[in-house]
Each structure stands twice: as structure tokens, then as C-alpha cells.
Amino acid sequence: MKIRQISIFLENQPGRLSTLCQTLANAGVNLSTLMLSEAGEFGLLRIVTPEAEKARAVVEKAGYAVTEGDVLAIQIPDKPGGLASVLTVLDWHTVSVEYMYAFACRTGRAIMIIRFNDLDRAIDVLQKAGINVFKAVDLFNG
Amino acid sequence: MIPHLWNDLEGTFFPESALDYMPESRLREVQLQRLKAVITLSYEKVELFRERMHAKGLKPADVHTLADVSKLPFMVKTDLRDTYPYGLFAVPMSEVVRLHASSGTTGKPIVVGYTAQDMEVWKQVIMRTLYAAGYSRGDIVQNMYGYGLFTGGLGLHGGLEGIGATVIPISGGNSERQIMVMKDFGVTAICGTPSYFIHLIETAQKMGIDFKRDLKVKRGVFGAEPWTDEMRQYIESASGVKAFDIYGLSEIIGPGVGAECECQDGLHIFEDHFLAEIVDTKTLAPVPDGTEGELVITTLSKQAMPVIRYRTRDITAFETRPCSCGRTCRRIKRISRRSDDMFIIRGVNVFPSQIEVALLKTEASLPHYQIILTRKSGLDQMEVRVEITGEMLSDNVGAMEQLQKRFGKSIEQITGLHALVTLAQPGSIPRSEGKAKRLIDQRNEPN
């Protein structure tokens, strides 16, 4: 259920993001999705890739500060109110979302990558509510 | 007994170190005799010194006591630049067997020379340094000081060979290889700059190597840059390596002017070769023992390039208590700052070492940092760039902002000044010779 997410520290300077992406490209790492959060003069780039191990090794070797954590990939009903309904369920069970971003997939399903304050409780709540939480293997092959 | 076999004996006494224990009256006699000789030599052979003596109306014969040294003219770093390359040499080049040079960040470097006897003295003071730190034959020593024109690498190398240690002349850089060699070669002791070793501790952690469990390194001699007691505590607790301070500067001889003994309580000056004074940074008059001031050194035995009353810019004080190790040569307090490192911002005196202490109070390990001074609409600004490591990084932007704030608060508590703290990518602060350039002053540059 848990998807590995790699977070990389980037200075908010021209060219830093492109240099990092080039590093990953040279190593043949394909990014499934990513989110860049910026806070003034620095930013955190979060990436999800089927090759998390390799991605981490490559960026660490290139000298970046790297950390990682788990996120969930959740299918959202693709209609007005779809996301709201999922969030309502989580809210009822006081599971908080720290941040989320979209996952692009070929099948056209709406999938969100979500970071929770309590991942295990989130899995439990979502599954009981019948909301589709993807396994890594299904996510990257879908 | 054959003297050169003494090192094979069990025990901790080594003939070279005997000079560390010379009775004080004898030591002062030796110093005075050598001082007179070096002044005569300089006066005869070095034009710059002779002219300065003339300007003060002094002759070598005017020096009768050790206290008379305070009448003599000072020398400063620019004197070495102004006489580049060989203007301060007191012997013909045919007597000079080695040249070293300091990396000049601006313009020409400074050049220093050694006769064969100077090389022997250098080796001896390094041997005394190493013995004082508990090194001996049988140690496998990884020397991480830069080899080449820098005096650090080859300076330590000579003394390490002298004590009969197994030397690994690895020089600086390539951190993962350093750790690999440390592990595979069974290294028991190291030499290098403290900031680089702290970086290696972190490298080892990343490689999944536990210094205390996986490596045999027991002691380290660290120098070539000012460092603090907080850094020592970190090194010793994080790596289990007992960390000894060594002091020296290329202008005098290189490393080996002074060193810590097993008490780690100040650095013994090898006074039979170096006459140390401490003077007030403003009046340049000698200060009473125990009072802080600028360290001034006269070489007592150097032949190729004798240096009289060299202003080191290093701030320290004499220790007044005798050392419990029994050595009679005097100690200076560890040097954690240099008078020319000090900067004045908005009327407040700040030393980079204060910033270092502030950063260490926030994070367990000292991150690489750089202080950048700028001027905006007539107001001085201090920016402190701090390199982020994987250990410090959190996926939470808020937590990173908190870290940034904690750094700022800690700096403000210690210096009383507001600093703009910026978090920087690893490796983005330039390093040279393993020394990081701590201070960039852009206040007088056009915007």
C-alpha cells in the first residue's frame, strides 16, 4: 500500500531543478510524478518513481541532501465532489492530509498522491470506506 | 644501548621528547643564546630586517635578555609578499633543500624555504607533537593533510616517518575512499583538518560504517584552521577518536610550532625552537601572562628563513598553571579565532567561531557554513549560508523553516545580531585544501 517518496533539498536558484532532472535523466530514472514545494530561498522536490532505490542512490551520489518517506496513492472518483467525498471520510476519522499532488496515469483514472500524518490509520479508514488505495506494483503498471 | 633503537622499547618516553621537559632556567638560557644568534644572522643577511633595526636605532648587540625582544621590529604577512619570492632568505639557494608556498587567495603566494637542518628541526617538532598525542611506532596513520606546496601534508609526513609509524600519504579529498582505506588498511590514527574529519564522520554514517564499531582509529591530530572545544566534543563522541590540537603556520615552519599533550588542556610551544610572546592587539605591548592577545613568534633555530617577531594574527593567552603532564615548555590556550577573521558589523565584533558555536548548539554536528557580509542602503547585513545534510533534511517544509529559525535564533543569542540564515545544498560552499573559506566580505564591493 505504501509508496516510497524521495524528497530532495534544492536551493531556489536558476538551473538547480534542471541540473537535478538531468542527473536523474542521465541515470535513466523515469519520474512517475513529482511536486515542488518552495519556501522562500529553498524548496523540496518530492518524487515518486518505480525505481526509488536507484533514484535515491543517484541523487545522493551527486551530492544532494535526500530524505524519504511513505505516501499513499488513492483513486478519487472522477466527478464533481469526488475529492471532497474522500476527504470527508478522512475528516470523520480525524486523519489529516499533510499535502497531496496528482498522479498521471495512462488509464485516465484520477489518482492523488497523499501524505498523511498517520499513514496506517489512513490505510485502515480508506479501505473500510471502500476507497481504492493502490499497491506500488499496480500503480506503476497501471 | 643504541639510541635509534630506543623507540622499540616498551614505555612512553622518547628521546626527542626529552626537550619538552627541560628545566625552565636551562630553557631560557637556550632561548637567549639562540635568539642572539638568529638576530645576528638576520641582521647580516636579511635587508628588510637590517633596515628596520636601523630605523629603530638598534644593533644585534642591544639584545641582552629575552625581554629585550620586545624592542625589536615586528614582521607581518605582507612582508613575505613584498619580498616575494626569496627576499627574506638568509642563506644562499644552494643551502635550501625545500620550498613551500601558501595558497594565495589574492595575488602572489608567500614562499618559505628550509635548509637540511631546518628540515631536521621540523621533523623533530612533529615527532614531539605525535609522541605527546600518544602516537608511536606500530601506528598506521592516514595523513589527510594536503600534500604539495601546503606545509601540512609533507610536514606531518616527515615526523610520522621519524617516529617509525606506517604512513598512508592519502592527502585530502575523495571521502568514500578515505573511509574505505581507514577500514581496509586498519588505520589506528589520523591527521587532518577538523572540518574535513567532521565531514568524514558523516560520510561514514552514510556508508553505514560505525566509527566506533567498524574502525580502529583511536587518535587524531587536527589543525590548519581554528576550531573549538565544541568541535572536539563532537568529534570524540561521534567517532571515538581522541582529538589533539596542533598549531603552526607556514611562515614560521608549518605545523609543529605547538601541540597538545594527553591532557588536552592547551598547546605546548616547542620553546627551544620558537620564542612566543603575546601582545595587545592594539598597543602591541606585551600583556601579562593569562591575558588574551595576539601571538607573536620568533624562530630561534631557523636558518633558511629566520623570522623575528612574526605577528600571527592568532588570538590566545598563556596558560599560567603548569601542565599535569610534566612538560616544562609553556602552553597557550587553544586558538579558536584570528584577529583578522574578526569582523565588525553594526559596531559589534564577531568571530566566525561564534557562528560555529551557534550552529553546533542547534545541530549535533557542525554543518559547513559561510558568512557573507553585504551592505544594503548603508546598512550591514550578515547572511549565514548553512549546508543541509541528509540527516538534517525533513520532508516537511515547515520543519525546515523551523530549523532555519533555530539557526537564526542561536546566532542572535550568541552574537546579539540578526543574521539572515539561508539553507544551502550540500557542496555548494567552496572548499580549498580541506579548509572552508568562512567569511566573504562584500560590503565594499559595488552592487
Q: pLDDT, tens digit, for every residue of A70-106?
A: 999 999 988 899 999 999 999 999 999 999 999 877 7
**CA separation for the pair B228, B334 (Å, rounded):** 8
Region at B38 (left for phi over 0; alpha for psi -120 to 50; beta for the rest): alpha
**Choice between B240 and B4, residue whose per-residue pLDDT is larger:** B240
ipTM above 0.85, yes or no: no
Among B397, B403, B404, the residue to mutate for chain A (most A Cβ within 10 A): B397
Q: Has residue B9 got a pLDDT over 50?
A: no
CB contact under 8 A, B425 and A9: yes
Q: Has residue A55 got a pLDDT over 70?
A: yes
Output the pLDDT for position B436: 64
Nearest CB among B393, B396, B401 relative to A9 is that of B393
Q: How many CB atoms lie within 10 A of CB B136?
A: 16
A44 vs B contacts (CB less than 8 Å): 395, 397, 400
Output the pLDDT for position B158: 98
Work out the pLDDT band at B13, boundaries 50, 70, 90.
Answer: low
| Residue A10 forms contact with B (CB below 8 Å) | yes
DSSP code of residue B61:
G
| Stretch (H or E) spanning A87 | helix A82-92
Q: pLDDT, tens digit, for every residue of B313-344?
A: 899 999 999 999 999 999 999 986 777 777 88
Rounded to an integer, the average pLDDT of B266-277 is: 98
Angle between helices A82-92 and A119-128 (to 10 degrees): 120
A63 vs B contacts (CB less than 8 Å): 425-427
Work out the pLDDT band at B144, boundaries 50, 70, 90.
Answer: very high
B427 vs A contacts (CB less than 8 Å): 63
A59 vs B contacts (CB less than 8 Å): none
Cell of residue B113, nine digits? 624555504
Contact B145, B139 (CB under 8 A): no
Best CA proximity match to B223, nearest among B187, B251, B197, B200 = B197
| Residue B389 forms contact with A (CB below 8 Å) | yes
B389 vs A contacts (CB less than 8 Å): 65
CA atoms within 13 A on the CB side of A95: 19
A115 vs B contacts (CB less than 8 Å): 395
DSSP code of residue B18:
G
**CA separation for the pair B369, B354 (Å, rounded):** 12
What are the Cα distances from residue B373, in Å, to A33, B407, B408?
A: 40, 17, 15
Mean pLDDT estimate for chain B: 90
Q: pLDDT, tens digit, for every residue of B228-254?
A: 888 899 999 999 999 999 999 999 999
Work out the pLDDT band at B102, boundaries 50, 70, 90.
Answer: confident
| Residue A60 forms contact with B (CB below 8 Å) | yes
CB contact under 8 A, A37 and B397: yes
| Residue B422 forms contact with A (CB below 8 Å) | yes
CB contact under 8 A, A64 and B426: yes
CB contact under 8 A, B425 and A65: yes
The SS3 assignment for A103 reads strand
Q: pLDDT, tens digit, for every residue of B380-423?
A: 889 999 999 888 899 988 999 999 999 999 999 988 889 999 99
Rounded to an integer, the average pLDDT of A20-46 is: 93
Q: pLDDT, tens digit, for every residue of B55-80?
A: 999 999 999 999 999 999 999 988 99
CB contact under 8 A, B206 and A68: no
B397 vs A contacts (CB less than 8 Å): 37, 39, 44
| Residue B281 forms contact with A (CB below 8 Å) | no
Among A3, A13, A42, the residue to mutate for chain B (most B Cβ within 10 A): A42
DSSP character string of B292-328:
-EEEEEEESS-SSS--SSEEEEEEE-B--SPPTT---
Residue with cell 525533513: B394
Q: Has residue B88 got a pLDDT over 90?
A: yes
List the alpha helices (DSSP H) in B274-424.
352-362, 397-415
Output the pLDDT for position A54: 95
Angstroms from B388 CA to nearest CA on chain A = 6
Rounded to an integer, the average pLDDT of B18-43 is: 95
Rounded to an integer, the average pLDDT of B347-351 is: 79
| Residue A98 forms contact with B (CB below 8 Å) | yes
Work out the pLDDT band at A44, boundaries 50, 70, 90.
Answer: very high
| Residue A11 forms contact with B (CB below 8 Å) | yes
| Residue B396 forms contact with A (CB below 8 Å) | yes
| pTM as predicted | 0.70
CB contact under 8 A, B392 and A68: no
Nearest CB among B401, B423, B427 relative to A63 is that of B427
B53 contact partners, CB below 8 Å, separation of at least 6: B43, B59, B60, B72, B73
Output the pLDDT for position B430: 79
Angstroms from A49 CA to nearest CA on chain B = 16
Q: Tell me if the bond preceding B430 is cis, omega within 30° of 0.
A: no
Contact A10, A45 (CB under 8 A): yes
What are the Cα distances from residue B415, in Å, to B44, B269, B348, B376, B408?
A: 49, 31, 8, 20, 10
Between chain A and chain B, the number of residue pairs with CB atoms below 8 A apart is: 53
Output the pLDDT for position B441: 86
Cell of residue B303, nine digits? 636558518
Q: Has residue A53 got a pLDDT over 70?
A: yes
The SS3 assignment for B289 reads coil
List the alpha helices (DSSP H) in B90-215.
116-132, 151-163, 175-184, 194-206, 211-214
Our measurement of the distance from residue B135's CA atom to the centroid of its chain's CA atoms, rounded to an integer in Å, reads 19
List the alpha helices (DSSP H) in B46-115.
47-55, 77-82
Angstroms from A68 CA to nearest CA on chain B = 7
Q: Has residue B19 got a pLDDT over 60?
A: yes
| Residue A64 forms contact with B (CB below 8 Å) | yes
Best CA proximity match to B271, nearest among B221, B329, B324, B232 = B329
Rg of chain B over all Cα atoms, to the nearest angstrom: 23
Q: Has residue B4 got a pLDDT over 50?
A: no
| Residue B206 forms contact with A (CB below 8 Å) | yes
